[in-house]
A and B are shown apart, each in its own frame.
Chain A
């Protein structure tokens, strides 16, 4: 069964450093998303991406965050200057069709620890 692949599975970074989280969505999916889950809390939407541009973003997704699909397969989330409160599990997800009832397929997540 097709999978959404995320790398790395765990990243530790110093506060103030830039991090790039990588995702390879399912190949025939058109819509891509990043979600965040702070430990013990609910999953929160960050950003959605379609047709090479951001289609929607949440209040969490401020100027410190950016997304890119540099080569038609990878989908990246960059945090420019990490803060302690950015420590969380970051999930990439993709979806096939607009307006369909398809659920999202989530990757297995990247655990980001900011020290």
Chain B
């Protein structure tokens, strides 16, 4: 079974600084997708960024970028120029190819310090 591990239950970052959230996963599949979701206090799940396993290039969305290391099964999220609104729970998620469910990690709570 696939598993997703987020080893940092909590992280904090100063406003305008950069922070990296870690995620590792375990799978025997070669075709899969990886995601980072943000869950603010409202508890809505918001897609931040996604990565296809077959793409070597790391995904980037404005201030958010990933470091995808397929051989190491690592998928970290980098948030640059952190803003107060980035404070939230961040979940790493995996999905193999096909109509398959997302498998989530336990999340990392990010605090942003003004």
State the A residues within 8 Å of B (CB): 31, 33, 35, 37, 41-45, 48, 50, 55-56, 58, 89, 91, 93, 98-99, 101, 103-109, 111
Contact = CB atoms under 8 A, between A and B. Distances in A.
Which 5 residue pairs of A and B lie closest in terms of their CB atoms, listed nearest first? Answer: A106-B45, A45-B101, A103-B47, A43-B104, A108-B44
Interface of B: 33, 35, 37, 42-47, 50, 52, 91, 93, 97-107
Given A31-B99, A45-B102, A104 B91 contact: no
A115 to B, nearest CB: 20
Q: Main SS of chain B's interface residues?
A: loop
23 contacts: A37-B43, A42-B91, A42-B104, A42-B107, A43-B45, A45-B101, A45-B102, A48-B99, A48-B101, A55-B99, A56-B99, A56-B101, A58-B101, A89-B43, A91-B45, A98-B99, A99-B99, A103-B35, A103-B47, A105-B47, A106-B37, A106-B45, A106-B47
